[in-house]
């Protein structure tokens, strides 16, 4: 998975796309009011970065402004050292976004939401086990729950980076979810898929503990997703 190329000339289009993504998160019931935020990478990861290099510039949603009142011009550029360009302050979770871009070169866009079912599970502080094979879409046999830390802090960033090792989504304890994708539309599709899995897990727990897939069964699914992700594959975005 490679982050999409983001050039300065694309900035107006990226502003529109970021605002559209926030609106779509609301329509998909991932976010309500001012909760949640989204960003898109502005600089390509450098080949020598190795996942822990200098943070890239990003475009991120503003702090505390309800989505219906936002315009594309309200989206905020944050540079590598954390200073921002724009009339509004960046989202209170800008540090989380910046640290995830620095840690995960495959992250081209990041979404954070207090989606109802994901948040309900996050309040139980449990990893989501392999109750359904689609868990493998997020990189492994489980989706982890990051340890609790106060919103907007370095401790929360560190917890999320650890929980996202070899994954592209995690729960944040007593808080919500974070998901990254190669671009905004990919990240949005994954976030909706993640919330759907959380709802399915929540529903099956009402009936008792589900039968879990074995390590071998999940390894086989992960391998198949790897192949389906190739250019001539059947595609992993919509047809499973």
Give catalytic residues, as residue numbers.
93
Nearest to 222 by CA among 142, 106, 121, 108: 142
Give the rounded distance of the alpha carbon of 85 from its chain centre.
23
Distance in angstroms (rounded) separating the CA atoms of residues 65 and 38: 13
Count Cα atoms within 13 angstroms, Cβ side, for 132.
19
182 within 8 A of 105, measured Cβ to Cβ: no
Contacts of 77 (CB under 8 A, 6+ apart): 42, 57, 58, 59, 84, 85, 86
* Burial 86-109, CB ≥16 within 10 A → b, else e: eebebbebbbbbbbbbbbbbebbb
């Amino acid at each position: 998975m490679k982050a999409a190329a983001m050039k300065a000339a694309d900035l107006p289009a990226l502003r529109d796309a970021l605002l559209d993504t926030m609106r779509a998160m609301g329509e998909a019931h991932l976010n309500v009011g001012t909760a949640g935020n989204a960003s898109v990478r502005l600089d390509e990861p450098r080949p020598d970065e190795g996942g822990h290099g200098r943070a890239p510039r990003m475009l991120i949603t503003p702090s505390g402004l309800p989505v219906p009142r936002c315009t594309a011009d309200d989206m905020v550029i944050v540079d590598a050292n954390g200073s921002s360009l724009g009339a509004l302050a960046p989202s209170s979770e800008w540090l989380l976004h910046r640290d995830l871009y620095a840690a995960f070169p495959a992250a081209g866009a990041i979404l954070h939401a207090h989606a109802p079912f994901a948040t309900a599970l996050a309040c139980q502080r449990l990893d989501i086990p392999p109750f359904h094979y689609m868990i493998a879409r997020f990189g492994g046999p489980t989706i982890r729950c990051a340890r609790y830390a106060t919103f907007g802090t370095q401790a929360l960033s560190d917890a999320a980076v650890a929980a996202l090792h070899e994954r592209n989504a995690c729960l944040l304890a007593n808080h919500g979810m974070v998901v990254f994708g190669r671009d905004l539309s990919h990240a949005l599709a994954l976030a909706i898929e993640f919330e759907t899995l959380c709802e399915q897990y929540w529903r099956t727990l009402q009936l008792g503990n589900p039968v879990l897939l074995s390590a071998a069964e999940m390894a086989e699914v992960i391998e198949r997703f790897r192949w389906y992700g190739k250019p001539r594959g059947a595609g992993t975005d919509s047809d499973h």
